[in-house]
Structure 1
Amino acid sequence: MQADLTKALDSYELTCTDMLPDDVPRLHELSIAVNWPHRPKDWELALSLGRGYVARDEIGRVLGSAMWFPMGETLASVGMVITSPRLQDHGAGRWLMQHVLSDTAGRSKVLNATKAAYRLYLSLGFSPRATVFQHNGIASRVPDGSDHALPMLADHAEAIVALDALAYGVARRPVFERLFPVSEGTVILRDGVVRGFALCREFGRGRVIGPVVAETEEDAIALVRPHVIAHKDRFLRMDTRAEDGPLRRFLDEAGIAFYDTVTTMTQGEVPSGGPVTTFGLVNQALG
Protein backbone atom coordinates (compact mmCIF):
# COMPACT_ATOMS: atom_id res chain seq x y z
CA MET A 1 0.00 0.00 0.00
CA GLN A 2 1.41 3.36 -1.04
CA ALA A 3 2.07 5.79 1.82
CA ASP A 4 0.49 9.23 1.75
CA LEU A 5 2.61 11.93 0.14
CA THR A 6 1.44 14.68 2.51
CA LYS A 7 0.93 14.62 6.25
CA ALA A 8 -0.03 17.17 8.90
CA LEU A 9 2.26 16.90 11.92
CA ASP A 10 1.94 19.27 14.85
CA SER A 11 1.80 22.72 13.21
CA TYR A 12 3.53 21.51 10.03
CA GLU A 13 2.17 20.23 6.74
CA LEU A 14 4.89 18.01 5.33
CA THR A 15 5.34 16.69 1.81
CA CYS A 16 7.31 13.54 1.07
CA THR A 17 9.47 13.77 -2.05
CA ASP A 18 12.38 11.88 -3.54
CA MET A 19 15.78 12.68 -2.07
CA LEU A 20 17.92 14.53 -4.62
CA PRO A 21 21.60 15.56 -4.78
CA ASP A 22 20.52 19.20 -4.34
CA ASP A 23 19.18 18.23 -0.89
CA VAL A 24 22.64 17.42 0.50
CA PRO A 25 23.22 20.80 2.23
CA ARG A 26 19.83 20.57 3.97
CA LEU A 27 20.37 16.91 4.84
CA HIS A 28 23.70 17.84 6.38
CA GLU A 29 21.95 20.45 8.52
CA LEU A 30 19.37 17.84 9.54
CA SER A 31 22.04 15.36 10.64
CA ILE A 32 23.86 18.07 12.60
CA ALA A 33 20.60 18.81 14.43
CA VAL A 34 20.51 15.25 15.80
CA ASN A 35 24.28 15.12 16.49
CA TRP A 36 25.14 12.72 13.67
CA PRO A 37 28.69 13.19 12.36
CA HIS A 38 27.95 12.83 8.64
CA ARG A 39 29.67 15.31 6.32
CA PRO A 40 28.16 16.40 3.00
CA LYS A 41 30.48 13.89 1.29
CA ASP A 42 29.08 11.10 3.48
CA TRP A 43 25.57 12.02 2.36
CA GLU A 44 26.75 12.10 -1.26
CA LEU A 45 28.15 8.57 -0.89
CA ALA A 46 24.82 7.37 0.55
CA LEU A 47 22.86 9.01 -2.29
CA SER A 48 25.08 7.36 -4.88
CA LEU A 49 24.23 3.91 -3.49
CA GLY A 50 20.58 4.13 -2.49
CA ARG A 51 17.20 5.77 -2.81
CA GLY A 52 15.82 8.16 -0.25
CA TYR A 53 12.87 10.29 0.77
CA VAL A 54 12.77 13.66 2.46
CA ALA A 55 9.98 15.35 4.40
CA ARG A 56 9.69 19.03 3.46
CA ASP A 57 7.64 21.72 5.14
CA GLU A 58 5.68 24.47 3.39
CA ILE A 59 8.78 26.60 2.77
CA GLY A 60 10.99 23.74 1.57
CA ARG A 61 12.96 22.96 4.72
CA VAL A 62 14.02 19.32 5.08
CA LEU A 63 12.71 18.01 8.40
CA GLY A 64 13.13 14.28 7.88
CA SER A 65 14.90 11.63 5.81
CA ALA A 66 14.90 7.89 5.18
CA MET A 67 16.87 5.75 2.75
CA TRP A 68 17.21 2.20 1.53
CA PHE A 69 20.09 0.50 -0.27
CA PRO A 70 19.74 -2.55 -2.55
CA MET A 71 21.95 -5.44 -1.48
CA GLY A 72 21.68 -7.88 -4.33
CA GLU A 73 18.21 -8.65 -5.71
CA THR A 74 16.41 -9.76 -2.56
CA LEU A 75 17.79 -7.70 0.36
CA ALA A 76 17.66 -4.03 1.33
CA SER A 77 19.59 -2.18 4.01
CA VAL A 78 17.61 0.67 5.57
CA GLY A 79 19.31 3.71 7.03
CA MET A 80 19.76 7.47 7.30
CA VAL A 81 16.35 7.67 9.03
CA ILE A 82 16.29 11.07 10.74
CA THR A 83 13.52 13.37 11.89
CA SER A 84 13.89 16.88 13.19
CA PRO A 85 13.86 16.97 17.01
CA ARG A 86 10.65 19.04 16.80
CA LEU A 87 8.83 16.21 15.00
CA GLN A 88 10.23 13.07 16.62
CA ASP A 89 7.12 12.57 18.77
CA HIS A 90 4.63 13.21 15.96
CA GLY A 91 4.98 10.19 13.70
CA ALA A 92 7.31 11.61 11.05
CA GLY A 93 9.71 8.67 11.26
CA ARG A 94 6.91 6.12 10.85
CA TRP A 95 5.49 8.05 7.89
CA LEU A 96 8.85 8.12 6.11
CA MET A 97 9.47 4.45 6.89
CA GLN A 98 6.12 3.56 5.28
CA HIS A 99 7.50 4.89 1.98
CA VAL A 100 10.66 2.83 2.38
CA LEU A 101 8.68 -0.30 3.26
CA SER A 102 6.45 0.24 0.23
CA ASP A 103 9.50 0.41 -2.04
CA THR A 104 11.11 -2.68 -0.51
CA ALA A 105 8.00 -4.84 -0.16
CA GLY A 106 9.56 -7.65 -2.18
CA ARG A 107 12.84 -7.67 -0.25
CA SER A 108 14.01 -8.80 3.15
CA LYS A 109 15.38 -5.92 5.18
CA VAL A 110 18.14 -5.16 7.66
CA LEU A 111 18.86 -1.99 9.63
CA ASN A 112 20.77 -0.74 12.65
CA ALA A 113 18.43 0.90 15.14
CA THR A 114 19.37 3.67 17.53
CA LYS A 115 17.87 3.49 21.00
CA ALA A 116 15.46 6.29 20.07
CA ALA A 117 14.14 4.41 17.02
CA TYR A 118 14.14 0.87 18.43
CA ARG A 119 10.45 0.81 19.44
CA LEU A 120 9.40 2.21 16.07
CA TYR A 121 11.14 -0.59 14.19
CA LEU A 122 9.70 -3.22 16.52
CA SER A 123 6.23 -1.89 15.76
CA LEU A 124 6.98 -2.13 12.03
CA GLY A 125 7.79 -5.83 12.25
CA PHE A 126 11.57 -5.80 12.65
CA SER A 127 13.22 -8.25 15.06
CA PRO A 128 16.47 -7.67 17.02
CA ARG A 129 19.40 -9.82 15.94
CA ALA A 130 22.68 -8.43 17.30
CA THR A 131 24.32 -5.50 19.05
CA VAL A 132 26.69 -3.16 17.24
CA PHE A 133 29.32 -1.50 19.41
CA GLN A 134 30.44 1.93 18.21
CA HIS A 135 34.03 2.74 19.14
CA ASN A 136 35.57 6.12 18.41
CA GLY A 137 38.17 8.55 19.67
CA ILE A 138 41.67 9.88 19.14
CA ALA A 139 44.05 7.00 18.39
CA SER A 140 46.56 7.98 21.08
CA ARG A 141 48.69 4.81 21.09
CA VAL A 142 49.35 1.66 19.07
CA PRO A 143 48.87 -1.49 21.16
CA ASP A 144 50.98 -4.55 20.47
CA GLY A 145 49.64 -6.92 17.86
CA SER A 146 50.49 -9.16 14.95
CA ASP A 147 52.00 -7.61 11.84
CA HIS A 148 50.98 -10.24 9.27
CA ALA A 149 48.64 -7.91 7.34
CA LEU A 150 49.86 -6.43 4.05
CA PRO A 151 48.88 -3.31 2.08
CA MET A 152 45.96 -3.88 -0.28
CA LEU A 153 46.80 -3.87 -3.98
CA ALA A 154 44.48 -3.23 -6.92
CA ASP A 155 44.79 -6.92 -7.84
CA HIS A 156 43.10 -7.83 -4.53
CA ALA A 157 39.82 -6.04 -5.33
CA GLU A 158 37.90 -8.97 -6.83
CA ALA A 159 38.91 -11.29 -4.00
CA ILE A 160 37.83 -8.68 -1.44
CA VAL A 161 34.36 -8.36 -3.01
CA ALA A 162 34.01 -12.16 -3.01
CA LEU A 163 35.19 -12.49 0.59
CA ASP A 164 32.75 -9.79 1.73
CA ALA A 165 29.92 -11.68 0.01
CA LEU A 166 30.81 -14.78 2.03
CA ALA A 167 30.68 -12.77 5.27
CA TYR A 168 27.64 -10.62 4.50
CA GLY A 169 25.54 -13.23 2.70
CA VAL A 170 25.06 -11.36 -0.59
CA ALA A 171 27.44 -9.63 -3.01
CA ARG A 172 27.84 -5.87 -2.53
CA ARG A 173 29.89 -4.95 -5.60
CA PRO A 174 28.33 -1.45 -6.06
CA VAL A 175 29.30 -0.57 -2.48
CA PHE A 176 32.92 -1.56 -3.05
CA GLU A 177 33.08 0.21 -6.39
CA ARG A 178 32.45 3.41 -4.44
CA LEU A 179 34.67 2.52 -1.46
CA PHE A 180 37.84 1.42 -3.23
CA PRO A 181 38.70 4.82 -4.77
CA VAL A 182 38.40 6.63 -1.41
CA SER A 183 39.90 3.98 0.88
CA GLU A 184 43.23 2.62 2.04
CA GLY A 185 43.26 -1.12 2.56
CA THR A 186 45.03 -3.99 4.26
CA VAL A 187 44.76 -7.70 3.49
CA ILE A 188 45.78 -11.05 4.93
CA LEU A 189 47.05 -13.59 2.42
CA ARG A 190 47.26 -17.33 3.02
CA ASP A 191 48.77 -19.41 0.24
CA GLY A 192 48.40 -16.34 -1.96
CA VAL A 193 44.63 -16.09 -1.31
CA VAL A 194 42.94 -13.10 0.37
CA ARG A 195 41.51 -14.38 3.67
CA GLY A 196 40.83 -11.02 5.34
CA PHE A 197 40.72 -7.31 4.60
CA ALA A 198 40.10 -3.91 6.19
CA LEU A 199 39.36 -0.61 4.48
CA CYS A 200 39.79 2.85 6.02
CA ARG A 201 38.39 6.12 4.65
CA GLU A 202 37.43 9.64 5.66
CA PHE A 203 34.10 9.81 7.48
CA GLY A 204 32.49 12.12 9.98
CA ARG A 205 34.94 13.67 12.45
CA GLY A 206 37.95 11.79 11.07
CA ARG A 207 38.21 8.34 9.54
CA VAL A 208 36.29 5.07 9.84
CA ILE A 209 37.84 1.61 9.73
CA GLY A 210 35.44 -0.66 7.88
CA PRO A 211 34.42 -2.92 6.45
CA VAL A 212 36.66 -5.43 8.18
CA VAL A 213 36.29 -9.10 7.28
CA ALA A 214 38.46 -11.84 8.77
CA GLU A 215 38.54 -15.44 9.92
CA THR A 216 39.49 -14.62 13.54
CA GLU A 217 39.70 -11.68 15.93
CA GLU A 218 43.50 -12.00 15.83
CA ASP A 219 43.37 -11.46 12.08
CA ALA A 220 40.95 -8.55 12.52
CA ILE A 221 43.39 -6.86 14.90
CA ALA A 222 46.25 -7.43 12.46
CA LEU A 223 44.20 -5.79 9.70
CA VAL A 224 43.16 -2.81 11.82
CA ARG A 225 46.52 -2.12 13.45
CA PRO A 226 48.26 -0.62 10.36
CA HIS A 227 45.41 1.90 10.03
CA VAL A 228 45.88 2.91 13.68
CA ILE A 229 49.60 3.35 13.00
CA ALA A 230 48.94 5.40 9.86
CA HIS A 231 46.44 7.68 11.61
CA LYS A 232 47.81 7.88 15.13
CA ASP A 233 46.70 11.02 16.98
CA ARG A 234 43.69 11.38 14.70
CA PHE A 235 40.02 10.58 15.27
CA LEU A 236 39.13 7.01 14.27
CA ARG A 237 35.88 5.11 14.42
CA MET A 238 34.93 1.48 14.07
CA ASP A 239 31.50 -0.15 14.36
CA THR A 240 31.72 -3.83 15.30
CA ARG A 241 29.45 -6.67 16.37
CA ALA A 242 32.33 -8.36 18.20
CA GLU A 243 31.46 -8.99 21.83
CA ASP A 244 33.89 -8.17 24.65
CA GLY A 245 37.17 -9.72 23.60
CA PRO A 246 40.56 -9.08 22.02
CA LEU A 247 39.39 -6.77 19.21
CA ARG A 248 37.42 -4.40 21.40
CA ARG A 249 40.18 -4.40 24.04
CA PHE A 250 42.64 -3.46 21.29
CA LEU A 251 40.42 -0.56 20.21
CA ASP A 252 40.01 0.66 23.80
CA GLU A 253 43.73 0.50 24.44
CA ALA A 254 44.36 2.47 21.24
CA GLY A 255 42.09 5.27 22.45
CA ILE A 256 39.27 4.26 20.10
CA ALA A 257 36.95 3.84 23.04
CA PHE A 258 33.49 2.34 23.35
CA TYR A 259 30.92 5.10 22.77
CA ASP A 260 27.43 3.68 22.16
CA THR A 261 25.41 0.79 20.79
CA VAL A 262 22.81 0.27 18.11
CA THR A 263 20.80 -2.89 17.44
CA THR A 264 20.89 -4.82 14.18
CA MET A 265 17.28 -5.68 13.30
CA THR A 266 15.84 -7.69 10.41
CA GLN A 267 12.55 -8.29 8.65
CA GLY A 268 12.11 -11.34 6.45
CA GLU A 269 14.70 -13.97 5.59
CA VAL A 270 18.06 -12.23 5.85
CA PRO A 271 21.06 -14.34 4.79
CA SER A 272 23.63 -15.25 7.40
CA GLY A 273 27.37 -15.07 6.95
CA GLY A 274 29.70 -17.91 6.05
CA PRO A 275 33.20 -19.06 6.98
CA VAL A 276 34.49 -15.51 7.57
CA THR A 277 33.08 -12.79 9.82
CA THR A 278 32.29 -9.11 9.34
CA PHE A 279 34.18 -7.58 12.28
CA GLY A 280 33.74 -3.98 11.12
CA LEU A 281 30.79 -2.37 9.35
CA VAL A 282 30.99 -0.06 6.34
CA ASN A 283 28.80 2.23 8.42
CA GLN A 284 25.53 1.82 10.28
CA ALA A 285 23.41 2.52 7.18
CA LEU A 286 25.13 0.01 4.89
CA GLY A 287 26.06 -2.63 7.46
Structure 2
Amino acid sequence: MSISNIRQLDSFTLCPKDMTHADIPHLHELSVAVGWMHRAQDWATVLELGEGIFLSDEIGRPCGSAMWFPMSDDLAMLGMVITTPRLQERGAGRWMMEQILARTGGRDLALNATRAAFRLYLALDFQPGPKVWQRMGLVSAIPEQSPRTRPMCNTDHAAIHDLDSRAYGTNRHTAIELFLRQSTGTVIEDAGRITGYSLCRRFGRGHVVGPIVAATAQDAAALAAPHIAHHHGSFLRIDTQETEGPFIQMLTDCGLAARDTVTFMSRGRKRICDPSAHVFALANQAVG
Protein backbone atom coordinates (compact mmCIF):
# COMPACT_ATOMS: atom_id res chain seq x y z
CA MET A 1 0.00 0.00 0.00
CA SER A 2 1.57 3.29 -1.07
CA ILE A 3 1.31 6.55 0.80
CA SER A 4 1.26 10.02 -0.67
CA ASN A 5 4.59 11.82 -0.81
CA ILE A 6 3.59 14.88 1.20
CA ARG A 7 0.75 16.02 3.45
CA GLN A 8 -0.04 19.71 3.90
CA LEU A 9 -1.59 20.62 7.26
CA ASP A 10 -2.07 24.37 7.57
CA SER A 11 1.47 25.75 7.37
CA PHE A 12 3.14 22.37 7.99
CA THR A 13 4.38 20.20 5.16
CA LEU A 14 4.67 16.60 6.34
CA CYS A 15 6.69 13.90 4.60
CA PRO A 16 5.31 10.40 5.27
CA LYS A 17 7.30 7.21 4.76
CA ASP A 18 7.08 3.56 5.67
CA MET A 19 8.94 2.89 8.92
CA THR A 20 12.29 1.13 8.86
CA HIS A 21 14.83 0.30 11.53
CA ALA A 22 16.88 3.26 10.31
CA ASP A 23 14.10 5.51 11.68
CA ILE A 24 14.42 4.21 15.25
CA PRO A 25 16.51 7.15 16.56
CA HIS A 26 13.85 9.60 15.30
CA LEU A 27 10.98 7.41 16.55
CA HIS A 28 12.63 7.25 19.95
CA GLU A 29 12.99 11.02 19.95
CA LEU A 30 9.28 11.29 19.14
CA SER A 31 8.15 8.99 21.95
CA VAL A 32 10.40 10.71 24.49
CA ALA A 33 8.88 14.06 23.49
CA VAL A 34 5.38 12.87 24.49
CA GLY A 35 6.54 11.21 27.73
CA TRP A 36 6.51 7.56 26.67
CA MET A 37 9.13 5.37 28.31
CA HIS A 38 10.04 3.25 25.27
CA ARG A 39 13.73 2.68 24.65
CA ALA A 40 15.20 2.42 21.17
CA GLN A 41 15.27 -1.37 21.74
CA ASP A 42 11.52 -1.32 22.46
CA TRP A 43 10.91 0.37 19.11
CA ALA A 44 13.01 -2.36 17.48
CA THR A 45 10.71 -4.96 19.06
CA VAL A 46 7.50 -3.42 17.73
CA LEU A 47 9.08 -3.07 14.28
CA GLU A 48 9.68 -6.83 14.30
CA LEU A 49 5.98 -7.37 14.93
CA GLY A 50 4.35 -4.81 12.64
CA GLU A 51 4.70 -2.01 10.15
CA GLY A 52 3.80 1.65 10.13
CA ILE A 53 4.09 5.23 8.96
CA PHE A 54 6.61 7.79 10.14
CA LEU A 55 5.99 11.50 9.60
CA SER A 56 8.64 14.21 9.53
CA ASP A 57 8.43 17.87 8.63
CA GLU A 58 10.22 19.68 5.81
CA ILE A 59 13.45 19.98 7.81
CA GLY A 60 13.46 16.38 9.04
CA ARG A 61 12.02 16.78 12.54
CA PRO A 62 9.92 13.76 13.68
CA CYS A 63 6.21 14.64 13.86
CA GLY A 64 4.17 11.46 13.98
CA SER A 65 3.94 7.68 13.89
CA ALA A 66 1.30 4.95 13.59
CA MET A 67 1.59 1.17 13.35
CA TRP A 68 -0.47 -1.94 12.78
CA PHE A 69 0.30 -5.47 13.95
CA PRO A 70 -1.14 -8.53 12.14
CA MET A 71 -1.79 -10.73 15.17
CA SER A 72 -3.43 -13.37 12.96
CA ASP A 73 -5.25 -13.68 9.65
CA ASP A 74 -8.41 -12.23 11.20
CA LEU A 75 -7.16 -9.76 13.85
CA ALA A 76 -4.87 -6.73 13.82
CA MET A 77 -3.82 -4.50 16.70
CA LEU A 78 -3.14 -0.81 16.11
CA GLY A 79 -0.66 1.15 18.18
CA MET A 80 2.38 3.42 18.57
CA VAL A 81 0.19 6.30 17.38
CA ILE A 82 1.96 9.57 18.23
CA THR A 83 1.53 13.10 16.96
CA THR A 84 3.42 16.08 18.29
CA PRO A 85 1.27 18.57 20.23
CA ARG A 86 1.31 21.18 17.45
CA LEU A 87 -0.29 18.70 15.02
CA GLN A 88 -2.81 16.95 17.29
CA GLU A 89 -5.60 19.39 16.40
CA ARG A 90 -4.72 19.61 12.72
CA GLY A 91 -5.86 16.19 11.54
CA ALA A 92 -2.49 14.42 11.36
CA GLY A 93 -3.64 11.59 13.64
CA ARG A 94 -6.77 10.86 11.62
CA TRP A 95 -4.87 10.98 8.34
CA MET A 96 -2.29 8.48 9.64
CA MET A 97 -5.02 6.19 10.97
CA GLU A 98 -6.84 6.23 7.64
CA GLN A 99 -3.59 5.21 5.93
CA ILE A 100 -3.05 2.40 8.44
CA LEU A 101 -6.65 1.14 8.30
CA ALA A 102 -6.33 0.77 4.53
CA ARG A 103 -3.55 -1.78 5.10
CA THR A 104 -5.25 -4.12 7.56
CA GLY A 105 -6.96 -6.31 4.97
CA GLY A 106 -10.44 -6.48 6.44
CA ARG A 107 -9.27 -7.88 9.78
CA ASP A 108 -11.07 -7.24 13.04
CA LEU A 109 -9.26 -4.40 14.81
CA ALA A 110 -8.35 -3.56 18.38
CA LEU A 111 -6.23 -0.96 20.16
CA ASN A 112 -5.57 0.65 23.52
CA ALA A 113 -6.46 4.33 23.33
CA THR A 114 -4.80 7.13 25.24
CA ARG A 115 -7.08 9.89 26.49
CA ALA A 116 -5.69 12.22 23.81
CA ALA A 117 -6.68 9.83 20.98
CA PHE A 118 -9.96 8.48 22.40
CA ARG A 119 -12.27 10.80 20.45
CA LEU A 120 -10.40 10.10 17.21
CA TYR A 121 -11.00 6.36 17.54
CA LEU A 122 -14.68 6.91 18.37
CA ALA A 123 -14.97 8.88 15.13
CA LEU A 124 -13.42 5.91 13.31
CA ASP A 125 -16.16 3.58 14.67
CA PHE A 126 -14.15 1.89 17.39
CA GLN A 127 -16.24 0.82 20.36
CA PRO A 128 -14.90 1.42 23.87
CA GLY A 129 -14.30 -1.44 26.27
CA PRO A 130 -12.62 -1.75 29.66
CA LYS A 131 -9.82 0.46 30.91
CA VAL A 132 -6.26 -0.84 31.14
CA TRP A 133 -4.39 0.30 34.24
CA GLN A 134 -0.68 0.98 34.06
CA ARG A 135 0.65 -0.22 37.41
CA MET A 136 4.30 0.55 38.00
CA GLY A 137 6.94 1.61 40.47
CA LEU A 138 9.94 0.44 42.45
CA VAL A 139 9.21 -2.98 43.93
CA SER A 140 9.11 -2.32 47.68
CA ALA A 141 8.24 -5.77 49.07
CA ILE A 142 8.78 -9.42 48.19
CA PRO A 143 5.49 -11.28 47.79
CA GLU A 144 4.83 -14.76 49.13
CA GLN A 145 5.87 -17.43 46.66
CA SER A 146 3.59 -20.28 45.65
CA PRO A 147 4.76 -23.90 45.44
CA ARG A 148 2.41 -24.32 42.46
CA THR A 149 4.66 -22.34 40.10
CA ARG A 150 7.88 -23.32 38.37
CA PRO A 151 10.22 -21.70 35.85
CA MET A 152 9.19 -22.05 32.21
CA CYS A 153 11.27 -24.31 29.99
CA ASN A 154 11.51 -24.72 26.22
CA THR A 155 9.32 -27.80 26.21
CA ASP A 156 6.45 -25.68 27.57
CA HIS A 157 6.28 -23.45 24.50
CA ALA A 158 3.69 -25.42 22.54
CA ALA A 159 1.38 -25.45 25.56
CA ILE A 160 1.96 -21.72 26.06
CA HIS A 161 0.88 -21.02 22.48
CA ASP A 162 -2.26 -23.09 22.94
CA LEU A 163 -3.14 -21.39 26.24
CA ASP A 164 -2.52 -17.92 24.83
CA SER A 165 -4.69 -18.64 21.77
CA ARG A 166 -7.57 -19.71 23.99
CA ALA A 167 -7.19 -16.62 26.19
CA TYR A 168 -7.04 -14.09 23.33
CA GLY A 169 -9.42 -15.77 20.92
CA THR A 170 -6.81 -15.89 18.15
CA ASN A 171 -3.44 -17.49 17.48
CA ARG A 172 -0.84 -14.70 17.76
CA HIS A 173 2.06 -17.09 17.26
CA THR A 174 4.63 -14.63 15.91
CA ALA A 175 4.23 -12.16 18.78
CA ILE A 176 4.41 -14.82 21.48
CA GLU A 177 7.48 -16.42 19.87
CA LEU A 178 9.27 -13.07 20.02
CA PHE A 179 8.30 -12.44 23.64
CA LEU A 180 9.38 -15.96 24.61
CA ARG A 181 12.83 -15.26 23.17
CA GLN A 182 13.10 -12.00 25.08
CA SER A 183 11.69 -13.13 28.43
CA THR A 184 12.01 -15.30 31.47
CA GLY A 185 8.83 -17.21 32.23
CA THR A 186 6.85 -18.87 34.99
CA VAL A 187 4.11 -21.49 34.61
CA ILE A 188 1.51 -23.32 36.66
CA GLU A 189 1.19 -26.98 35.72
CA ASP A 190 -1.73 -29.03 37.02
CA ALA A 191 -1.80 -32.78 36.35
CA GLY A 192 0.69 -32.38 33.51
CA ARG A 193 -1.24 -29.52 31.84
CA ILE A 194 -0.09 -25.88 31.68
CA THR A 195 -2.95 -23.79 33.08
CA GLY A 196 -1.18 -20.45 33.48
CA TYR A 197 1.91 -18.59 32.35
CA SER A 198 3.68 -15.25 32.81
CA LEU A 199 6.59 -13.59 31.03
CA CYS A 200 8.98 -10.84 32.17
CA ARG A 201 11.31 -8.89 29.90
CA ARG A 202 13.32 -5.67 29.73
CA PHE A 203 11.23 -2.62 28.85
CA GLY A 204 11.40 1.12 29.36
CA ARG A 205 12.83 2.19 32.71
CA GLY A 206 13.10 -1.39 33.98
CA HIS A 207 11.12 -4.54 33.25
CA VAL A 208 7.53 -5.39 32.36
CA VAL A 209 5.59 -8.49 33.45
CA GLY A 210 3.21 -9.68 30.78
CA PRO A 211 1.42 -11.44 29.34
CA ILE A 212 -0.07 -13.15 32.36
CA VAL A 213 -2.71 -15.74 31.50
CA ALA A 214 -4.30 -17.74 34.31
CA ALA A 215 -7.50 -19.45 35.44
CA THR A 216 -7.96 -17.35 38.59
CA ALA A 217 -6.70 -14.15 40.22
CA GLN A 218 -4.90 -16.26 42.82
CA ASP A 219 -3.05 -18.04 40.03
CA ALA A 220 -2.21 -14.72 38.38
CA ALA A 221 -0.71 -13.47 41.65
CA ALA A 222 1.30 -16.68 42.00
CA LEU A 223 2.63 -16.35 38.44
CA ALA A 224 3.67 -12.71 38.92
CA ALA A 225 5.25 -13.21 42.34
CA PRO A 226 8.60 -14.73 41.20
CA HIS A 227 9.19 -11.86 38.76
CA ILE A 228 8.28 -9.24 41.36
CA ALA A 229 10.60 -10.86 43.91
CA HIS A 230 13.45 -11.03 41.41
CA HIS A 231 13.16 -7.29 40.75
CA HIS A 232 12.88 -6.16 44.37
CA GLY A 233 14.15 -2.58 44.56
CA SER A 234 13.93 -2.11 40.77
CA PHE A 235 11.36 -0.51 38.46
CA LEU A 236 8.61 -2.86 37.28
CA ARG A 237 5.46 -2.37 35.21
CA ILE A 238 2.31 -4.45 34.73
CA ASP A 239 -0.60 -3.39 32.45
CA THR A 240 -3.89 -4.92 33.54
CA GLN A 241 -7.65 -4.54 33.22
CA GLU A 242 -8.09 -5.86 36.76
CA THR A 243 -9.16 -3.42 39.48
CA GLU A 244 -9.59 -5.58 42.59
CA GLY A 245 -8.95 -9.01 44.05
CA PRO A 246 -5.85 -10.87 45.24
CA PHE A 247 -3.80 -10.13 42.14
CA ILE A 248 -4.30 -6.36 42.46
CA GLN A 249 -3.82 -6.47 46.23
CA MET A 250 -0.43 -8.14 45.77
CA LEU A 251 0.65 -5.52 43.22
CA THR A 252 -0.39 -2.72 45.59
CA ASP A 253 1.38 -4.31 48.55
CA CYS A 254 4.58 -4.55 46.50
CA GLY A 255 4.57 -0.90 45.43
CA LEU A 256 3.09 -1.21 41.92
CA ALA A 257 0.54 1.60 42.06
CA ALA A 258 -1.93 2.59 39.33
CA ARG A 259 -0.38 5.52 37.46
CA ASP A 260 -2.45 6.03 34.30
CA THR A 261 -5.07 4.38 32.11
CA VAL A 262 -5.81 3.69 28.48
CA THR A 263 -9.08 2.32 27.07
CA PHE A 264 -9.36 -0.90 25.12
CA MET A 265 -11.34 -0.31 21.91
CA SER A 266 -12.34 -2.62 19.07
CA ARG A 267 -13.98 -2.71 15.66
CA GLY A 268 -15.36 -5.93 14.20
CA ARG A 269 -16.44 -9.23 15.66
CA LYS A 270 -16.26 -9.92 19.37
CA ARG A 271 -13.53 -12.45 20.14
CA ILE A 272 -14.63 -15.76 21.69
CA CYS A 273 -12.24 -16.57 24.54
CA ASP A 274 -11.93 -19.54 26.87
CA PRO A 275 -13.24 -18.52 30.33
CA SER A 276 -10.68 -20.83 31.97
CA ALA A 277 -7.81 -18.83 30.42
CA HIS A 278 -8.14 -15.18 31.49
CA VAL A 279 -5.75 -12.39 30.48
CA PHE A 280 -4.57 -10.72 33.70
CA ALA A 281 -1.77 -8.64 32.14
CA LEU A 282 -0.91 -7.45 28.63
CA ALA A 283 2.36 -8.06 26.80
CA ASN A 284 2.28 -4.36 26.00
CA GLN A 285 -0.30 -1.80 24.99
CA ALA A 286 0.55 -2.00 21.28
CA VAL A 287 -0.17 -5.71 20.80
CA GLY A 288 -2.33 -6.51 23.83
Q: TM-score, normalized by length of structure 2?
A: 0.96
Indicate the residue corresponding to 1:171 in structure 2.
171
The CA distance in 1 between the partners of 2:243 and 2:257, in whole Å, is: 14
Give the conservation status (yes or no) of the 8 Å contact 2:145–2:226.
Answer: no
The CA distance in 2 between the partners of 1:60 and 1:229, in whole Å, is: 44
Give the conservation status (yes or no) of the 8 Å contact 2:3–2:16.
Answer: no
The CA distance in 2 between the partners of 1:93 and 1:5, in whole Å, is: 17
Q: CA deviation at 1:121?
A: 0.3
Q: Where do 1:3-82 residues align within 5 Å? A: 4-82=4-82
Give secondary structure in 1 for the equivalent of 2:102: helix
The CA distance in 2 between the partners of 1:253 and 1:224, in whole Å, is: 13
Give the conservation status (yes or no) of the 8 Å contact 2:213–2:279.
Answer: yes
Give the conservation status (yes or no) of the 8 Å contact 1:197–1:214.
Answer: yes
Which string of whole-angstrom CA distances, capped at 9 and with x for unpartnered residues, describes residues 142-162 of structure 1? 233534211001110111011
Indicate the residue corresponding to 2:98 in structure 1.
98
The CA distance in 2 between the partners of 1:105 and 1:85, in whole Å, is: 30
The CA distance in 1 between the partners of 2:51 and 2:157, in whole Å, is: 26
Give the conservation status (yes or no) of the 8 Å contact 1:3–1:99.
Answer: yes
Unaligned runs of 5+ in 2: none
Which string of whole-angstrom CA distances, capped at 9 and with x for unpartnered residues, describes residues 21-70 of structure 1? 10000000000000000000000000011011011211222210000000
Give secondary structure in 2 for the equivalent of 1:125: coil
The CA distance in 2 between the partners of 1:76 and 1:270, in whole Å, is: 13
The CA distance in 2 between the partners of 1:259 and 1:143, in whole Å, is: 21
Give the conservation status (yes or no) of the 8 Å contact 1:75–1:270.
Answer: no
Give the conservation status (yes or no) of the 8 Å contact 1:3–1:95.
Answer: no
Residue type of the alignment partner of 1:28 = H
Q: CA RMSD in A?
A: 1.4
The CA distance in 1 between the partners of 2:157 and 2:134, in whole Å, is: 27
Unaligned runs of 5+ in 1: none
How many residues in Structure 1 have an aligned counterpart in Structure 2? 287
Percent identity over paired residues: 48
Give the conservation status (yes or no) of the 8 Å contact 2:67–2:80.
Answer: yes
Which string of whole-angstrom CA distances, capped at 9 and with x for unpartnered residues, describes residues 195-223 of structure 1? 00000000001000000000000000000
